[in-house]
Structure 1
Amino acid sequence: MSEPQNVPVTAVPGDARVLDVREDYEWEAGHIDGAVHIPLDQLPERFGELDPDEDLHVICRAGGRSQRAAEWLESHGYTAINVSGGMGAWLEAGRPMVSETGSEPAVL
Protein backbone atom coordinates (compact mmCIF):
# COMPACT_ATOMS: atom_id res chain seq x y z
CA MET A 1 0.00 0.00 0.00
CA SER A 2 1.36 3.41 -0.91
CA GLU A 3 1.62 6.12 1.69
CA PRO A 4 -0.46 9.21 0.96
CA GLN A 5 1.39 12.37 0.06
CA ASN A 6 1.50 15.09 2.72
CA VAL A 7 1.34 18.75 1.71
CA PRO A 8 1.27 22.00 3.69
CA VAL A 9 -1.87 24.14 3.53
CA THR A 10 -0.02 26.62 1.33
CA ALA A 11 0.30 23.91 -1.37
CA VAL A 12 -3.46 23.20 -1.59
CA PRO A 13 -4.70 24.65 -4.90
CA GLY A 14 -7.69 26.98 -4.79
CA ASP A 15 -9.70 24.57 -6.92
CA ALA A 16 -8.73 21.45 -4.93
CA ARG A 17 -11.42 18.93 -3.92
CA VAL A 18 -11.16 19.03 -0.13
CA LEU A 19 -12.55 16.29 2.12
CA ASP A 20 -13.05 17.43 5.72
CA VAL A 21 -13.17 14.45 8.12
CA ARG A 22 -13.83 16.38 11.35
CA GLU A 23 -16.92 16.00 13.52
CA ASP A 24 -20.12 17.96 12.82
CA TYR A 25 -19.54 20.56 15.57
CA GLU A 26 -16.04 21.27 14.21
CA TRP A 27 -17.36 21.63 10.65
CA GLU A 28 -20.14 23.99 11.76
CA ALA A 29 -17.67 26.26 13.57
CA GLY A 30 -15.51 26.75 10.50
CA HIS A 31 -14.61 24.98 7.27
CA ILE A 32 -13.33 25.51 3.75
CA ASP A 33 -16.07 26.73 1.41
CA GLY A 34 -16.91 23.99 -1.07
CA ALA A 35 -15.31 21.19 0.95
CA VAL A 36 -17.03 17.82 1.27
CA HIS A 37 -17.81 16.87 4.88
CA ILE A 38 -17.68 13.21 5.86
CA PRO A 39 -16.68 12.60 9.49
CA LEU A 40 -13.90 10.00 9.78
CA ASP A 41 -16.11 7.39 11.47
CA GLN A 42 -18.64 7.64 8.59
CA LEU A 43 -16.06 7.28 5.81
CA PRO A 44 -16.40 3.47 5.37
CA GLU A 45 -20.16 3.87 4.76
CA ARG A 46 -20.03 7.09 2.72
CA PHE A 47 -16.86 6.96 0.60
CA GLY A 48 -19.02 6.12 -2.44
CA GLU A 49 -20.08 9.80 -2.40
CA LEU A 50 -16.54 10.69 -3.49
CA ASP A 51 -15.28 10.64 -7.09
CA PRO A 52 -12.49 8.03 -7.38
CA ASP A 53 -11.07 9.91 -10.38
CA GLU A 54 -10.58 13.13 -8.40
CA ASP A 55 -7.55 13.89 -6.23
CA LEU A 56 -8.76 14.47 -2.67
CA HIS A 57 -7.04 16.83 -0.24
CA VAL A 58 -8.02 15.43 3.17
CA ILE A 59 -8.11 17.75 6.18
CA CYS A 60 -9.00 17.56 9.89
CA ARG A 61 -8.07 19.79 12.86
CA ALA A 62 -4.36 18.97 13.12
CA GLY A 63 -3.54 16.20 10.63
CA GLY A 64 -4.00 12.89 12.50
CA ARG A 65 -7.52 11.94 11.44
CA SER A 66 -6.91 13.13 7.90
CA GLN A 67 -3.76 10.98 7.69
CA ARG A 68 -5.78 7.90 8.69
CA ALA A 69 -8.55 8.83 6.23
CA ALA A 70 -6.05 9.38 3.42
CA GLU A 71 -4.40 6.00 4.09
CA TRP A 72 -7.82 4.29 4.08
CA LEU A 73 -8.86 6.01 0.85
CA GLU A 74 -5.55 5.13 -0.82
CA SER A 75 -6.09 1.48 0.13
CA HIS A 76 -9.48 1.67 -1.64
CA GLY A 77 -8.10 3.05 -4.91
CA TYR A 78 -8.50 6.77 -4.33
CA THR A 79 -5.77 9.41 -4.66
CA ALA A 80 -5.71 11.12 -1.27
CA ILE A 81 -3.36 13.86 -0.12
CA ASN A 82 -3.09 14.63 3.58
CA VAL A 83 -3.09 18.34 4.45
CA SER A 84 -0.38 18.72 7.10
CA GLY A 85 -1.32 20.84 10.10
CA GLY A 86 -5.02 20.66 9.26
CA MET A 87 -7.51 23.45 9.80
CA GLY A 88 -5.34 24.98 12.52
CA ALA A 89 -2.60 25.61 9.96
CA TRP A 90 -5.22 26.67 7.39
CA LEU A 91 -6.48 29.38 9.76
CA GLU A 92 -2.94 30.48 10.67
CA ALA A 93 -2.10 30.80 6.96
CA GLY A 94 -5.07 33.14 6.52
CA ARG A 95 -6.77 30.85 4.01
CA PRO A 96 -10.52 31.54 3.55
CA MET A 97 -13.10 29.82 5.75
CA VAL A 98 -16.85 29.92 6.31
CA SER A 99 -19.00 28.85 9.25
CA GLU A 100 -22.52 27.49 9.65
CA THR A 101 -23.13 29.39 12.89
CA GLY A 102 -23.33 32.98 11.68
CA SER A 103 -20.22 33.71 13.75
CA GLU A 104 -16.66 34.31 12.63
CA PRO A 105 -15.23 30.98 11.38
CA ALA A 106 -13.20 29.19 14.06
CA VAL A 107 -11.24 25.98 14.45
CA LEU A 108 -12.34 23.95 17.48
Structure 2
Amino acid sequence: MFGIFKNILVQNDNLELIEAVKNGAFLVDVRTPGEFSSGSVKGAVNIPLDQIISQLSKFDNHKNIVVFCRSGNRSGQAKSILEQSGFKQVINGGTWEDVNKVVNG
Protein backbone atom coordinates (compact mmCIF):
# COMPACT_ATOMS: atom_id res chain seq x y z
CA MET A 1 0.00 0.00 0.00
CA PHE A 2 2.80 2.45 0.87
CA GLY A 3 4.31 2.00 -2.59
CA ILE A 4 1.13 3.30 -4.22
CA PHE A 5 1.13 6.42 -2.05
CA LYS A 6 4.84 6.93 -2.64
CA ASN A 7 4.29 6.84 -6.41
CA ILE A 8 1.46 9.36 -6.14
CA LEU A 9 3.60 11.68 -4.00
CA VAL A 10 6.57 11.42 -6.35
CA GLN A 11 4.36 12.16 -9.35
CA ASN A 12 2.84 15.20 -7.62
CA ASP A 13 6.28 16.50 -6.64
CA ASN A 14 7.48 15.98 -10.20
CA LEU A 15 4.51 17.93 -11.59
CA GLU A 16 5.28 20.77 -9.20
CA LEU A 17 8.93 20.72 -10.29
CA ILE A 18 8.00 20.64 -13.99
CA GLU A 19 5.63 23.59 -13.54
CA ALA A 20 8.22 25.61 -11.59
CA VAL A 21 10.93 25.00 -14.21
CA LYS A 22 8.51 25.88 -17.02
CA ASN A 23 7.79 29.17 -15.23
CA GLY A 24 11.47 30.11 -14.95
CA ALA A 25 12.29 28.97 -11.42
CA PHE A 26 15.56 30.06 -9.80
CA LEU A 27 17.64 26.85 -9.97
CA VAL A 28 20.10 26.47 -7.10
CA ASP A 29 22.64 23.67 -6.79
CA VAL A 30 23.55 23.45 -3.09
CA ARG A 31 26.51 21.09 -3.57
CA THR A 32 30.12 22.14 -3.08
CA PRO A 33 31.86 24.17 -5.81
CA GLY A 34 33.90 21.07 -6.73
CA GLU A 35 30.77 18.97 -7.18
CA PHE A 36 29.11 21.78 -9.14
CA SER A 37 32.06 22.09 -11.51
CA SER A 38 31.87 18.39 -12.34
CA GLY A 39 28.40 18.90 -13.83
CA SER A 40 25.11 20.56 -13.02
CA VAL A 41 21.90 21.86 -14.54
CA LYS A 42 22.08 24.44 -17.34
CA GLY A 43 21.23 27.86 -15.91
CA ALA A 44 21.70 26.81 -12.29
CA VAL A 45 23.69 28.82 -9.79
CA ASN A 46 25.90 27.27 -7.13
CA ILE A 47 25.13 28.35 -3.58
CA PRO A 48 26.55 25.64 -1.30
CA LEU A 49 24.38 24.60 1.65
CA ASP A 50 26.79 26.11 4.18
CA GLN A 51 26.49 29.51 2.44
CA ILE A 52 22.69 29.70 2.09
CA ILE A 53 22.15 31.91 5.16
CA SER A 54 24.94 34.34 4.23
CA GLN A 55 23.60 34.63 0.67
CA LEU A 56 19.85 34.96 1.31
CA SER A 57 19.72 38.18 -0.74
CA LYS A 58 20.39 36.13 -3.89
CA PHE A 59 17.00 34.47 -3.40
CA ASP A 60 15.06 37.73 -3.21
CA ASN A 61 12.71 38.57 -6.09
CA HIS A 62 12.41 34.94 -7.22
CA LYS A 63 8.86 33.63 -7.26
CA ASN A 64 9.83 29.95 -7.48
CA ILE A 65 13.04 28.45 -6.15
CA VAL A 66 14.24 24.91 -6.88
CA VAL A 67 17.09 23.57 -4.76
CA PHE A 68 18.92 20.35 -5.54
CA CYS A 69 22.09 18.41 -4.75
CA ARG A 70 23.56 14.91 -5.15
CA SER A 71 20.99 12.88 -3.20
CA GLY A 72 18.24 15.26 -2.09
CA ASN A 73 19.45 15.47 1.52
CA ARG A 74 21.28 18.81 1.40
CA SER A 75 18.55 20.31 -0.79
CA GLY A 76 16.01 19.25 1.85
CA GLN A 77 18.04 21.14 4.44
CA ALA A 78 18.33 24.14 2.12
CA LYS A 79 14.55 24.14 1.57
CA SER A 80 13.99 24.22 5.35
CA ILE A 81 16.47 27.07 5.82
CA LEU A 82 14.86 29.11 3.05
CA GLU A 83 11.33 28.49 4.34
CA GLN A 84 12.39 29.46 7.87
CA SER A 85 13.82 32.64 6.33
CA GLY A 86 10.46 33.54 4.81
CA PHE A 87 10.68 32.16 1.28
CA LYS A 88 7.39 30.52 0.31
CA GLN A 89 7.76 28.83 -3.08
CA VAL A 90 10.72 26.51 -2.46
CA ILE A 91 10.86 23.07 -4.06
CA ASN A 92 13.31 20.34 -3.16
CA GLY A 93 14.17 19.12 -6.65
CA GLY A 94 16.11 16.17 -5.24
CA THR A 95 19.13 15.19 -7.28
CA TRP A 96 20.73 17.41 -9.89
CA GLU A 97 20.18 14.61 -12.41
CA ASP A 98 16.42 14.63 -11.72
CA VAL A 99 16.24 18.40 -12.20
CA ASN A 100 18.41 18.14 -15.29
CA LYS A 101 15.94 15.68 -16.86
CA VAL A 102 13.11 18.18 -16.29
CA VAL A 103 15.11 21.13 -17.62
CA ASN A 104 16.22 19.27 -20.73
CA GLY A 105 12.83 17.64 -21.27
Match for residue 67 of structure 2?
A: 58
CA RMSD across the alignment? 2.4
Are 2:16 and 1:7 equivalent residues in the alignment?
no
Match for residue 36 of structure 1?
A: 45
Q: Is the 8 A contact 1:58 1:83 kept in 2?
A: yes
Q: 1:94 to 1:8 in 2, by over 3 A?
A: closer
Structure 1 residue ranges (4+ consecutive) displaced by more than 6 angstroms after TM superposition: none
Match for residue 92 of structure 2?
A: 82
Quote how far apart the aligned CAs of 1:44 are.
1.2
Quote how far apart the aligned CAs of 1:26 are.
0.9
> If the length of structure 1 is used for normalisation, what is the TM-score?
0.68
Query: 1:3-31, CA deviations, whole angstroms, 9 ceiling, x for partnerless residues?
Result: xxx83386252422111100001110111
Match for residue 68 of structure 1?
A: 77
Work out which of the residue numbers 22, 33, 36 in structure 1 matches 2:31: 22
- Identical amino acids, percent of aligned pairs: 31
Which consecutive residues of structure 1, in runs of 5 or more, have no partner in the other structure?
Answer: 1-5, 97-108
Task: Look at both structures and tell me which one has the larger radius of gyration over its CA atoms.
Answer: 2
Question: Aligned pair count?
Answer: 89
Query: 1:40-73, CA deviations, whole angstroms, 9 ceiling, x for partnerless residues?
Result: 0011111112225421011111100000100110
Structure with more contact order per residue of length (Cα contacts < 8 Å, sep ≥ 6): 1
